[in-house]
Structure 1
Amino acid sequence: MTYSQRTHGVLLRRLIDHLDGAVEQSYVDAGLDYRPRFTPILRALLNDGPASIRTLSARTGVTHSAVSQTVSQMAARNWVSLEAGKDARERIVALTDFAHARLPTLQRCWAATAAASDVLDADIGQPLADVLSRALEALEQTSFRDRLAAAATLSGDNR
């Protein structure tokens, strides 16, 4: 039996590698020490001002743990500052003057990314974001774990 190497996981990782790798290189080319994963947090802070890790997680749809790790990376690169919140366990994240000074360059990079995304969407005949959103919505309705269990039951694999 021949097995395909084109599983969802492999395809998604390759897609992320293509997209994030190119976007990250565009930041390097623009002279920025910035990663694509910083963007949701930076935009949330731009839109709504300083916030706790928990609030940023809710605003961005990124897990608390991932936001915490990303904010640590951003702070190490001087994109954000961290201050104690009302509760000693809470940290408030804010953009630094360094970040504000680099916004025009970032915005040019974001505009180029949006334009390149539009071309990709045209090449594939539909907005990639719509396809990904529909997939996520379907998985929120019925998790992939539940789909696997149902498929195993139908195929007689009742482990």
Structure 2
Amino acid sequence: MRSRAWPVLAFSLLLLSGCASGGPWVEVGGERFRVEIADDDAERARGLMFRDRLEDGTGMLFIHEAEEPQAYWMKNTRIPLDILYFDNARRLVTQQRNVPPCSGGDRCPAYPSDQPARFVLELNAGEAERLKLQDGAELTFGEGIPPVR
């Protein structure tokens, strides 16, 4: 009986380990990041506002309906971020690195994309430099990312 229980236990542990690290993820610069998805107006407007920290290895992926010029700001954002803009082909077109928090309300500056973008990935400040990201880097979508047309 012991020999039959071991494969079941091993399989169960494998499933649990996958669930613990589960959730949507993206990969950029050869590294995987678990992401929260902001794919409607309300989620995109709130973004990472009012957060005191962003866990290592995580970020927020903003999905827009169309590829067009984008601009993000740090209103009510308490943590410095890298804001990475990607086009329809999921190629990095603009990097706004080490963007500081802003408590200035509507006086916070905008950080625009230099080219039209459809996807925006926000990571902790310093990640783009650490990964040595260059324009043209590819963003890979993993499990849990909604289909995009």
TM-score (norm 2): 0.30
- Between structure 1 and structure 2, the one with the greater Rg is 1
**Larger RCO of the pair (alpha carbons < 8 Å, separation 6+):** 2
Q: Which structure dedicates a bigger proportion of its chain to strand?
A: 2
